[in-house]
Structure 1
Amino acid sequence: MTDGHDHDGDPSDDRTPGVPRLGRDEQPAVYGPDYDDAAERPVDPVSRADCPTEAAGEPVADGGESAGGAPSGLQADGGTAATGGDDLDPANYDAVDVFDGGALDLRDGSDSCYKCTSCDTSCPVAEVDDSFPGPKFQGPEQWRLKRKEDHDIDASITDCSNCMRCDDACPSSVPLSQMHNEARGEFVAEQMAKLSTEYVRNRILSNYRFFAAIASKTPRLANFVTGLGVTKWVGEKLLGITSEREFPDFAQQTFREWWRDRGGARVENPDERVAYFHGCYSNYNTPEVGKAMVRVYESFGYEVMVPPQKCSGTPMFANGMLDDARRHAETNVESLVAAIGDGADIIASCTSCSLSLRQEYPELFDLHGIDDVAEHTFEALEYLRIHEDIDAALADADVDERAFAYHAPCHARNQGLARQAIEAFDAVEDVTVEDVGDSCSGISGTYGWKAEKYDYSMEIGAEMFEHMEAAEGEVGMTECPTCAMQMEHGTGYEVQHPLQLLEAALVD
């Protein structure tokens, strides 16, 4: 085990998360100030109507140049000059607002897009759904061209699955997923009918934690009812939730109930503390993942804290329910900041949860302490690989011969964690972990649960299914609970979390 590490929040140390910074972190604070006086607004390029040459009706030939050598009526940066000649005195400019930026102005990010279409070619939805215009339109085009008062957000924004692969693909660090999230939130708030089936269905899927908390009170009854064919039929006919999928079972004992019954932490170590953000699924459906996390970290001498928490907001972002997401974020940030103050780093076993805390929270909300939360958040295996000699610990592990087909979730790839499980378990004798390719699983949280998206989700996941079946192992492995659902649904394989293999290898 390594020496004790500091918790001073220094972003230059080796604990800095592997989330790409350039571009996204250059964006101004979200939900920024509303300017009451036009004089307070940042200076925008002037409109072409302010060019005296054009206003007077004098034509400007395409490609023509002024005496000064620059195209007539244009500034060097592509704006419109206040004079037709080579007198480009900024004092003559009359700044106007070309776009109504709203609460979040992403024009700077839009201007970074040079239409290379890397985002479109990486988008799994665009590949299977011909009606979906792709991330470039949903992001830069939406903000650059569709933000005038006479244009609404295009309804196709709700077809985005929020896999965020476009962020990873963009060579210019355009904040694509941030644009998508904000546009989707505006569309749902202002244009989607609140009594429509789609809105009600999406609200239910987004707030899974609320319904899971109720179901977990009587898990056997809940599992029986959700397993009935008539329940699935009604869900599809009335709400548009696909009947093709099996509802996940609710655990007989939630993770938090187990944590309470065991008496909390069994290791006290103020020098090495972690705060576990377990998320909804590990609490209500797969508490064995949370238990594995606790036991593995305690085996390395860490004191584990389990602070009060709500949903990370991932399904809410994907469905444009930003008000719901903010309410949950307020609770999470407050409790996680307190844990950081007690010397803890934040550990998540779900890569969507860690990405939400690291990236989407600071992009979309202006809560106090939110940057500290982002800076101190890590995925569970990632953190151990940074601070502990995992290779040495696993080299002596005695594990029965096993072979796994590993899928790296899209939200793991966004954090630079695509191969961590492959690399971590390479040192374990008799254990084979085979990467089944870089395709998206297709379920993308709630996307694959929508009746109209089910076929698309299965078409997206077909490559992963094929690779899994060709792999040596017949047990799947992934860090994402919904990817695990899709893997099991498409192949019938049992699926485990890397933490469960770590527990088997390291904990007696």
Structure 2
Amino acid sequence: MSDAHDPASTSTPADDEFEPVDVFGEAEEMDLRPGADNCYKCTSCDTSCPVAEVDDDFPGPKFQGPEQWRLKRKEDEGVDDSIMSCSNCMRCDNACPSSVPLSQMHNTARGEYVDEQMDKLSREYIRNRILSNYGLLARLGSKVPRLTNFAMSLGVTKKFNEKVLGITSEREFPAFAEQTFRSWWDERGGAKVESEEKRVAYFHGDYSNFNTPEVAKAMVRVFESFGYEIIVPEQRCSGTPMFANGMLDDARRAAKFNVRTFSDLVDDGYDIICTCTSCSMALRQEYPELFDFEGTAEVAASTYEAVEYLRIYEDLQGAVAESDVEYPDLAYHAPCHARNQGLDRQAVELFRDLDGVEVEDVGESCSGISGTYGWKEEKYDTSMKIGEEMFEHMEHASGSDGMTECPTCAMQMEHGTGYEIHHPMQLLEKALV
């Protein structure tokens, strides 16, 4: 945390600051027994699970977490394959009244299942490995974006992906931008503002770099308008899709690189900003719960979602209230990973005083796509059933455009309604810059 920003002197939009559950103690190996023993089978997690709500065959978070760990302690049992049907929405964490680290249990169980029980030559493993490491393929595809976009839009490509890899043909592959964000950043010469007191390091993630650089550019312009010096260090995927697919070795490598890079910047007085709530969730919660690299705790404590950060340290509400901007009415969806960080109402609260724009919350339902989950052929129908409530609420909202902080939620919103979807940073850019 930079000296200029003392959290004790400010108020945060969230009621309670998130603190990762420490269930490992000093043990060298992961032992989730203390967390499992805290579960008293109230089933709050099961009733909050969007997958269990639409899939009667899915046993739910309670079985995937505490019950499975209890079974493994008593008998020589493998991990049940239903763990791969968990979407990693992490809603169960919020639902549990006794702070059982459910998503942590699911992540470790999924990793064990993939390492020890999944056939490494199977279509499912190969497909999941490809989806988990999207950034590697994106680096290649973004070098010739027009050709890649054309090839991925062909029906024959979609059918090949579905039949051979198990990637659904029902979705449109996200288009690569003509210019990546990092290329734009280098071309403009980096930061345009210098400050010894207001300094942030931007964790943009793969999607904002390769597919939606307009979101990253909006973040840069908005933060610079408040006088922030921005640095954009080398980085790797946050690891969220890797956690969701049980690729913990891949996630560990990415996390170690990111922690090493960003912890050095934290030491130099930078705070870390994300424009994707799944990225901020990974750095804040999943890293400290699953890894113990030097600097992990410091990175977690210094990571913020972009709108959240400005609401804490600037009079963002006042600046927005004074603005007059023409923008379509918006149906807002709060991503599950925003809810886990206490950020589910921030966009509605922020923009409700903006003249000329109506922002309507479309409810508490999950969008259903959950990152790579809704891209799998066998999960597509489930993802769409989960999203039905959100689609219906969007269609009854006054606006015909949508807004969310999560890029894959944006895909699902557009896929299910045809609406154009915006990021809050884009609306802030238009209102303030």
Q: Which TM class, normalised by the smaller chain length?
A: over 0.9
Which 5+ residue runs of structure 2 have no aligned equivalent?
none
CA distance in 1 between partners of 2:150 and 2:15 (Å): 41
Matched AA of 1:347: I
Match of 2:397 among 452, 471, 487: 471
The 5 Å alignment of 1:392-403 reads 392-403=318-329
Match of 1:499 among 416, 420, 425: 425
CA distance in 1 between partners of 2:278 and 2:15 (Å): 13
Match of 1:27 among 23, 30, 40: 23
Could you tell me whether the CA contact under 8 Å between 2:277 and 2:337 is conserved in 1?
Answer: yes
1:203 aligns with 2:199: no
Match of 1:162 among 75, 83, 88: 88
Could you tell me whether the CA contact under 8 Å between 2:13 and 2:343 is conserved in 1?
Answer: no
1:389 aligns with 2:315: yes
In the other structure, the counterpart of 2:281 is 355
In the other structure, the counterpart of 1:275 is 201
| Residues 323 and 18 of structure 1: CA distance in aligned 2, closer, same or farther (over 3 Å) | farther
CA distance in 2 between partners of 1:307 and 1:24 (Å): 26
CA distance in 2 between partners of 1:210 and 1:423 (Å): 37
Q: CA deviation at 1:398?
A: 2.0
| Residues 10 and 400 of structure 1: CA distance in aligned 2, closer, same or farther (over 3 Å) | closer
Q: TM-score, normalised by structure 1?
A: 0.83
Work out the number of aligned pairs and report it: 433
What SS class does the counterpart of residue 379 from structure 2 fall into? helix
CA distance in 2 between partners of 1:152 and 1:223 (Å): 42
Match of 1:119 among 28, 45, 67: 45
What SS class does the counterpart of residue 451 from structure 1 fall into? coil
Could you tell me whether the CA contact under 8 Å between 1:19 and 1:359 is conserved in 2?
Answer: no
The 5 Å alignment of 1:95-114 reads 103-114=29-40
Q: CA deviation at 1:18?
A: 5.1
Which structure has the highest helix share of the two?
2
CA distance in 2 between partners of 1:322 and 1:8 (Å): 36
Q: CA deviation at 1:26?
A: 3.3
| Residues 197 and 9 of structure 1: CA distance in aligned 2, closer, same or farther (over 3 Å) | farther
CA distance in 1 between partners of 2:277 and 2:19 (Å): 21
Of structures 1 and 2, the larger Rg is shown by 1
The 5 Å alignment of 1:89-488 reads 103-148=29-74, 150-488=76-414
Could you tell me whether the CA contact under 8 Å between 2:142 and 2:180 is conserved in 1?
Answer: yes
What SS class does the counterpart of residue 398 from structure 2 fall into? coil
CA distance in 2 between partners of 1:22 and 1:375 (Å): 9
What SS class does the counterpart of residue 370 from structure 2 fall into? coil
Q: CA deviation at 1:146?
A: 2.6
CA distance in 1 between partners of 2:283 and 2:190 (Å): 24
Q: CA deviation at 1:401?
A: 4.7
Q: TM-score, normalised by structure 2?
A: 0.97
Question: What's the C-alpha RMSD, in Å, of the aligned pairs?
Answer: 1.8
| Residues 455 and 501 of structure 1: CA distance in aligned 2, closer, same or farther (over 3 Å) | same
Higher relative contact order (CA 8 A, sep 6+): 2
| Superposed structure 1 runs of 4+ greater than 3 Å apart | 5-24
What SS class does the counterpart of residue 360 from structure 2 fall into? strand
What SS class does the counterpart of residue 352 from structure 2 fall into? helix
